[in-house]
Amino acid sequence: MTPVELMFALRRQPPFDSMSDGELEIAAKVVVERSFAPGALVLGPGEPFRRLLLRLDGSWQTDSRSLPTILGVESLLTGIEGPGEVRAGPDGVRCLTMTRGHFFTLVNECPALLLSLLSMADEPPETRPFL
């Protein structure tokens, strides 16, 4: 994906939709596109996320519940384990990934992103766009 395509992909998803063009440009420079084959292990049981994952297309699968578009926010911020075993869906999944360090830098440097995350934290987990 080109940097502009990455910016548009980020802009489509809360909480990134609250960021300015300059902030999105910074974020687009640090995300990496990744694809998982159908059924591939995305996160093992009992593990915390080590990267933020933003689904572009395809699906995530887990036994315990349906999963939102963005995975890893809570785990990266608090160190809690993920929702159990997460696998790519039957058609696989294509996503953008961001390291923990880059995510922390964005949260520090982009107040709109932090405010958006905080405002969504009060929503019930099943309606939040992130986990």
Q: Residue 126 falls within a domain, yes or no?
A: no
Is residue 95 one of the residues assigned to a domain?
Answer: yes
Is 22 part of a structural domain of the chain? yes
**Overall domain count for the chain:** 1
The first and second tokens of residue 16, run together, are: 């990134």
Residue 44 inside a domain? The answer is yes
Task: Decide if 106 is inside a domain.
Answer: yes
- The residues, ordered by sequence, that sit 6+ positions from 109 with a Cβ below 8 Å of its Cβ are 23, 26
Alpha helices by DSSP H, the chain: 3-11, 21-30, 73-78, 100-109, 111-120
In a domain, 128, yes or no: no
For the whole model, what pTM was predicted? 0.90
Summary mean pLDDT of the chain: 92
Q: 24 is in which domain, residue-wise?
A: 3-120
Contact 55, 95 (CB under 8 A): yes
Q: What is the pLDDT of residues 102-126, one digit of tens each?
A: 999 999 999 899 899 888 888 887 7
- Dihedral Cα 21, 1, 82, 109, nearest 10 deg: -20
CATH number at residue 87: 2.60.120.10
On whether residue 125 sits in a domain, the answer given is: no
Report yes or no on 127 lying in a domain.
Answer: no
